[in-house]
Amino acid sequence: MQNVVILQARKWFSRSLSSFSSNPLKVCVVGSGPAGFYTAEKMLKAHQQAQVDIIDRLPTPFGLVRSGVAPDHPETKIVINQFSRVAQHEQCSFLGNVTLGSSISLSELRKLYHVVVLAYGAESDRSLGIPGESLKGIYSAREFVWWYNGHPDGRNLDPDLKNTDAAVILGQGNVALDVARILLRPTAELATTDIANYALAALEESSIRKVYLVGRRGPAQAACTAKELREILGIRNVDISIQEVDLRLTPADEEELKSNRIKRRVHELLSKAAAKPRTAGLNQRELHFVFFRKPDSFQESEDRTGHVSGVHFEKTVLKGDGPGKQIAIGTGEFEDIKCGYYPITRKSYKNTWVPSCWYLRALVTNQYQLMAYLLIIRKILVKENLFLGVRVTSDRASWLYMSNISGIVPNFRGRVLSDTSGDPTLLEEGLYVCGWLKRGPTGIVATNLHCAEETVLSISEDIEKGMLISSAALPKPGREGLLQLLQDRDVRIVSFSDWEKIDSEEKRLGSSRNKPREKLSTWDELHKAALE
């Protein structure tokens, strides 16, 4: 795919060099995560005279690579080196601290640039729509992951890890496993990572000894990868608990596993873990995999008004037409998991798990989706009238339709469509999407590479057709116009060289603690370091 993009773009480039040099292509990429940087990289390779600007609301680049990837996965963050080379390209610039919707509107960007690519992820959480969801003690996994990764918007989360001995995570995707691993891994091992110092201190004082991973479906449908599962099963001094009855496969399950090597390997790992003898309480910590349960409501504490005390679960069975199409259907049977800040005696409740606990809801399927429930953690997606949680602007010229269910902007191979009908001829000229906005919150970092290649190919095809730029058209202001507009509005831009100051300060702070970096985790700290 990459070669196709480059060859087609060069074919157009050779025919249009004279006109293009006098009216260079101006491209703005909104979002500096993997989708944004891969898009910028592919644009610079396919259109060598293009000017590409990457804007982001944060003063720090790299998106989920910085604030979403777990701190004990440094190998995944190596891609930052590649992205840095893109930002340092002579035809590219990074403009941090620029917020779409407040610093500048989408309609203004479209007037300034030939091409605008929206490549930012989710900053809002999808409601489950069940009673009790507003109780205290319920957090979004996006917030929790931001908290331990030093994101400035997660700095003040302050989850209470001292007054409970168990956590329940709703969901069994890679992010759910990430969070469970952070809660169970010895803090001595986390101390040499780039985990936020305040999060490490809280984990060192944590009383949590049991973690429950609860899924709506069965082990054959578990959304995690074998690599992530193998890692959490290998944590030292942790007992693994899985009910063998849950591991029994139906004919539909067997067909599903036959056609999916990753899911087959996940099931094998879970089966081996279930067969392994437990250590009869010798280990200090426990990890419980619980299948075929879906939350029905959250229960309020009788002792602490407004606080969650438990979750009412409905047991489920799988129904569907075939492999990969099975969905969890409630059976009408219910049970509770009690949680809160006070011990509960097991004899007090019939048919009830009763650890004293908080909840971490992680209704996610992928490593880089920042969603779960802490003390019940919540899945991300979008609410109606929100553009992945960020209102772009209220004027129709800037508005984009979005599926309220999937969180995807209607598009055809990255070209934004004018409505939700799916008609590929109803295009928003010059407007494109990449990443989660294009395909939904799925995939890993590398998934964005292929996603960006397709979007850049669509842009190149539209340029060749004369849809975006021509010799007769007036030049677009691009970066010059953007900088002037932001200056007029007193927006303090953080350039990539400013980011390098932040980067140097974080590394300096980390070196004294035997860490790769100590992240600056407040807006004031970040801005101060960038200005020095």
Residues 452-460 have a mean pLDDT of: 96
pLDDT tens per residue across span 21-47: 567 899 999 999 999 999 999 999 999
- Does residue 509 fall inside a structural domain? no
299 belongs to an annotated ligand binding site = no
Q: What is the pLDDT of residue 392?
A: 45
Q: What percent of the chain has pLDDT over 70?
A: 80
- Higher pLDDT, residue 486 or 471: 486
Do the domain assignments include residue 532?
no
Which of 334, 353, 378 delimits the end of a domain?
A: 378
292 and 332 within one domain? yes
399 is in an annotated binding site: no
Per-residue pLDDT band for 372 (boundaries 50, 70, 90) equals: very low
State the total domains in the chain: 2
Instruction: Tell me the CATH number at 221.
Output: 3.50.50.60
Q: Which two tokens stand for residue 477?
A: 């202001």
At what angle are helices 141-148 and 174-184 packed, to 10 degrees?
A: 50
Q: Where does residue 483 rank: exposed (0-12), middle (13-18), buried (19+ CB within 10 A)?
A: middle
Q: Look up residue 397 and give its DSSP letter.
A: G
How far apart CA 214 and CA 283 sit, in angstroms, is 22
- Is 50 exceeded by the pLDDT of residue 375? no
3 is in an annotated binding site: no
pLDDT-derived band at 400 (thresholds 50, 70, 90) equals low
**Which 8-state DSSP code applies to residue 300?**
E
| Containing structural domain, residue 242 | 138-344+368-378
- Over the stretch 141-197, which tens digit does the pLDDT of each residue have? 888 999 999 999 999 998 888 877 888 888 899 999 999 999 999 999 999 999 999
- The mean of the pLDDT values for the chain is 83
CATH number for the domain that contains residue 444: 3.40.50.720
pLDDT at residue number 321 = 77
The CA distance from 514 to 233, in Å, is 27
* Alpha helices (H) along 251-365: 251-258, 261-275
> Higher confidence at residue 364 or residue 273?
273
Give yes or no: residues 33 and 47 share one domain: yes
Same domain? For 313 and 406 the reply is no
Rounded-to-integer distance, Cα 486 and Cα 491, Å:
5
Identify whether the C-beta of residue 530 lies closer than 8 Å to the C-beta of residue 502: yes
SS (H, E, C) 51-106: EEEEECCCCCCCCHHHHCCCCCCHHHHHHHHHHHHHHCCCCEEEEECCCECCCECH
Whole-angstrom CA distances from 525 to 43, 155, 391 are 33, 12, 27
pLDDT confidence band for 92 (50 / 70 / 90): very high
Instruction: Establish whether 446 is an annotated binding residue.
Output: no
C-alpha distances out from residue 155 to 166, 403, 450, Å = 23, 31, 33
In a domain, 291, yes or no: yes
Position 48 in a domain:
yes
Lowest mean pLDDT among 219-228, 357-366, 402-411, 469-478: 357-366
What tens digit of pLDDT does each residue of 273-285 get? Answer: 999 887 756 668 9
**175 labelled binding-site residue:** yes
Residue 35 assigned ligand-binding role: yes
Asked if residue 61 and residue 147 are part of one domain, the reply reads: no
- Cα 409 → chain centroid: 17
Residue type, 69: V
User: What is the average per-residue pLDDT within 198-222?
Assistant: 94
Kindly state whether residues 297 and 170 are assigned to the same domain: yes
The candidate with the shortest Cα–Cα distance to 208, out of 52, 380, 341, is 341
Structural domain contains residue 333: yes
Q: Based on the domain organization, do 298 and 326 belong to the same domain?
A: yes
Consult the annotation and say whether 12 binds a ligand.
no
**Same domain for 399 and 317?**
no
Mark whether 336 and 408 lie in a shared domain. Answer: no
pLDDT tens by residue, 102-148:
999 999 999 999 999 999 976 666 778 889 988 887 877 888 999 99
Answer whether residue 363 is part of any domain: no
Which pLDDT tens digit goes with each residue over 70-83? 999 999 999 999 99
Same domain, 301 and 157: yes
For residue 156, the model assigns a pLDDT of: 93
Same-domain status, 374 and 386: no
Q: Most distant CA pair in the chain: distance in Å? A: 83
Predicted confidence at residue 254, as pLDDT, reads 93
pLDDT tens digits, residue range 322-348?
777 899 999 999 988 766 543 333 333
- Quote the tokens at residue 365: 């399927």
Q: Is the pLDDT of residue 394 over 70?
A: no
In a domain, residue 505? The reply is: no
- Average pLDDT of span 449-466: 94
Number of H helices and E strands in the chain, helices first, is: 17, 20
238 marked as binding residue: no
Give 262's contacts (C-beta < 8 A, 6+ positions apart).
225, 226
Co-location of 112 and 152 in the same domain: no
Q: Classify 137 as helix, strand or coil.
A: coil
What's the rounded mean pLDDT across residues 467-494? Answer: 89
Asked whether residue 512 carries a pLDDT value surpassing 80, the answer given is yes
d(CA 500, CA 503): 5
Structure confidence at residue 221 as a pLDDT band (50, 70, 90): very high
Q: Per the structure block, which two tokens stand in for 316?
A: 């489920």
293 is in an annotated binding site: no
**243 known member of a binding site:** no
Does residue 485 have a pLDDT over 90?
Answer: yes
Q: Does the annotation flag 48 for ligand binding?
A: no
Q: Best-predicted range by mean pLDDT among 119-128, 413-422, 431-440?
A: 431-440
User: For residue 10, with 0-12 CB atoms within 10 Å meaning exposed, 13-18 middle and 19 or more buried, which class applies?
Assistant: middle
Residue 481 in marked binding region: no
**Average of per-residue pLDDT across 438-462:** 91
Cα three-residue angle 28-19-118, rounded to 5 degrees:
15
- Residue 161 and residue 295 share a domain: yes
What secondary structure, in 3-state letters, does 116-151 show?
A: EEECCCCCCECCCCCCCCCCECCEEHHHHHHHHCCC
Asked whether residue 131 is assigned to any structural domain, the reply reads: no
